[in-house]
Amino acid sequence: MSLSNLMMSAALRGGRTAATAIFMVVSFLDPVDAQLPVSGRPVPKLESLDQEMLDFMSAPGRTIGAGVLGVSRGGRVIFLRAYGRLRNNDSLPETALFRIASVTKPVTAAAIQQLVADGTLGTAGLARRVFNLNGNSGVLAVMPGSMGVGDARFDQITIGHLLNHSAGWDRNPQPIANPWIQDYPITRVRDAGIAMNQPANLPNRRQLMNWALGFPLDFAPGAASYQHLVPVPDSKPPTATLQSGMPGAGWTYSNFGYLVLGEVLDTAAPGGYLGYVGANILSPSNWVPSTDWRLAATPQAQLDPREPGYVSRLVGSSVYDYADPIDQVPLPYGGYHLETMMAHGGLIASAQAMLRFGNLYSVGYTTTGVGAMQVNSIGSPITSDSPMAPDASHTGALPGTSSILRQIGAGPGREDDVVIYIAFNERDESEVNDDWAFAASNSVLNRLNSVPLDGWPSATCDGYWVDLGQENSNVGHGGYNSTFHGFQTSINRAGEGSYLRLKPGSQAWAGHITKRLVIDAPEGVVTLGRNP
């Protein structure tokens, strides 16, 4: 949107109704609930979801201090609320950014699917070989360490295998001597650095990938099935039992495979991984501003001002410390290295960004093909020919993070499709291993299933909220209860592709708008111009 010397003296109205601001004051008998402020535009028709979230966050065994819930229906965000506080003790805004952990994977998959559609990977598409070995025209040059290439089958791995978690790596423990127990490069960053004799610097993703290629695969790429070892709990010494496995999502989940997909994008995609995602997937053209997502930062001091603190009782060896004695740190702040995890778990994003993504791209895994032609639908665009799945989700979990993006498709028409996004700043660390975000989404979905067809709200809740009047660029996070102050300030602080929701009021303003923005006044009359 580009307007010169914009003058608006007429009233702006948006939405189906114009109303004055509604303020909701809630009190609870539970002392934990009383400590958790609730932020976001009130939604009277779905107010039970607030209590559902507060009850869940403070249930026995949980003291979750920050969470966000977003719900869209038919592509419109109808519920966007935050619970808890930021690190500076401000109320958490519904525009908060959270580490999304493995919910990053559908984003990476969508970028790969788009790269294939662009033709950038050539006519082979998802069947293109990943590693350039033995004259197979693979995408990535391989420079393994002194151990050499650890498996002759690396030249068979395709991009489709990586999407499908069927490239040959299994996150579940393989023979116990396998150095890739649980397939987490994040737990091996220091080991890779030591092996490469560079204790002054953490290895980058490409170096880590090359180091990992010195070890053998767990199964043949694209195999129909295989036998793998599962450790027997509490056995001393550790023992294992054989279990049948089938490559593909849910069986041979592999974080490392998605790290490699990130390297494919960094190598082949214009702008690399972050540039391509920002231009094509989480993009202003899809109404996702750059201010609503980015690469996560590991150190606590580098968290975004809109990020809550992350809570974990677990400690581990710092990835930054190579000299004995190794520092022990809280796992969210150096026990793993988020920057290395970029393509498989290293992004932060807002709920509104993830809801937008969830209305455009599939988050579920559907495998087709065999052998070298094995591919997956994850990340594919949602269209009338490929509608949203009836119930598909992708969860994310790291120490200090539990997240889920869930899609509830209602058939060929999209007006009844529902998308749910939840993120918490803590995960279950008990032996029960309950997935908190997934469990919370079940509670939310049960509530939504009881909403009658004529009981769904129509008001929009996402975007950045603006109080007109005095300009102040140092306050607010753009939330409904934490607004931007001043129209020019809101333009400056909002990224291209943002929605600006003006609260009722007036302001004298004349200037230029050179960003792609949606500007509306959903709650009442706004007067904006030289002489309001």
Domain end marker among 297, 331, 355? 297
Would residue 98 count as lying in a domain?
no
CA torsion through residues 182, 183, 184, 189, sign: positive
User: How does pLDDT run across 24-66, given as a tens digit for each residue?
Assistant: 223 223 333 457 999 999 999 999 999 999 999 999 989 999 9
pLDDT value, residue 20: 26
Q: 274 is written with which tokens?
A: 């972050």
pLDDT at 189 > cutoff 90? no
Predicted local distance difference test score (pLDDT) of residue 80: 98
- Strongest mean pLDDT among 8-17, 139-148, 261-270: 261-270
Distance CA 114, CA 134 (A): 28
What are the tokens at 418? 């529902």
Question: Is the separation of the CB atoms in 136 and 155 below 8 Å?
Answer: yes
pLDDT > 80? residue 186 = no
Residue 17: how many other CB atoms lie within 10 Å: 11
Residues 114, 230: one domain? yes
Same domain for 14 and 109? no
Contact between 333 and 425 (Cβ < 8 Å): no
Examine the pLDDT at 262 and tell me if it is beyond 90.
yes
Percent of the chain with pLDDT over 70: 85
What is the number of structural domains in the chain? Answer: 2
Minimum mean pLDDT among 139-143, 378-382, 491-495, 526-530: which range? 526-530
pLDDT tens for 288-316 read 999 999 999 999 999 999 999 999 999 98
Measuring CA to CA, how many Å separate 55 from each of 204, 270, 422, 447?
A: 42, 46, 15, 14
Give the three-state DSSP class for 357. helix
Q: Decide if pLDDT at 17 tops 50.
A: no
Classify residue 289: in a domain, yes or no.
yes
Residues 446-479: tens digit of each pLDDT: 999 999 988 999 999 999 999 999 999 999 999 9
**Does residue 513 fall inside a structural domain?**
yes
> Is 187's pLDDT higher than 80?
no
pLDDT at 11: 28
281 and 156 assigned to the same domain: yes
Q: What percent of the chain has pLDDT over 90?
A: 67
pLDDT in tens, 470-517: 999 999 999 999 999 999 999 999 999 999 999 999 999 999 999 999
Mark whether 12 and 128 lie in a shared domain: no
Average pLDDT over the chain reads: 87
Same domain, 242 and 127: yes
Amino acid, single-letter form, for residue 86 = L
Q: Considering Cα of 47, then 101, then 297, then 419, what sign does the dihedral take?
A: negative
In a domain, residue 60? The reply is no
What's the maximum distance between 2 C-alpha atoms anywhere in the chain?
A: 81
Q: Residue 198's pLDDT band (boundaries 50, 70, 90)?
A: low
- The domain containing residue 204 runs over which residues? 104-297
Mean pLDDT of 171-181: 59
Q: Is residue 71 part of a domain?
A: no
Separation between Cα atoms, residue 239 and residue 233, nearest integer Å: 8
- pLDDT: which is higher, 511 or 198: 511
Helices (H), 102-222: 104-118, 159-163, 189-195, 205-212
Query: What is the pLDDT, as a whole number, of residue 372?
Result: 84
Residue 325 belongs to a domain: no
Strand partners, 348: 99, 294
Residue 317: inside a domain, yes or no?
no
Residues 149 and 14 in one domain: no
Instruction: Among 297, 332, 355, give the residue marking a domain's end.
Output: 297
Q: Is 214 helix (H, G, I), strand (E, B) or coil?
A: coil
Q: What is the pTM of this model?
A: 0.90
12 & 142 share domain: no
Res 138: pLDDT: 97
Where in 296-417 does DSSP place strands (E)?
Answer: 315-317, 328-330, 347-350, 367-368, 375-376, 392-398, 401-408
Q: Do 108 and 14 belong together in one domain?
A: no
pLDDT band at 3 (very low <50, low <70, confident <90, very high): very low
Q: Which of 266, 297, 328 represents a domain boundary (last residue)? A: 297
Examine the domain organization and report whether 150 and 290 are in the same domain: yes
**Same structural domain for residues 134 and 260?**
yes
In 3D space, the residue among 447, 513, 431 whose CA is nearest the CA of residue 46 turns out to be: 447
**What are the helix (H) ranges across 247-364?**
255-268, 272-280, 342-345, 351-358
Whether residue 172 is found in the same domain as residue 276 = yes
8 Å CB contact between 269 and 115 = yes
Residues 507 and 304 sit within 8 Å (Cβ to Cβ): no
**CA 444, chain centre distance (Å):** 19
Sign of CA dihedral 27, 30, 35, 40: negative
Is 471 part of any domain?
yes
On whether both 137 and 14 belong to a single domain, the answer is: no
Residues 6+ away with beta carbon under 8 Å from 281? 107, 110, 111, 114, 357, 361
b/e per residue 190-204 (b: at least 16 CB within 10 A): bebbebbeeeeebbe
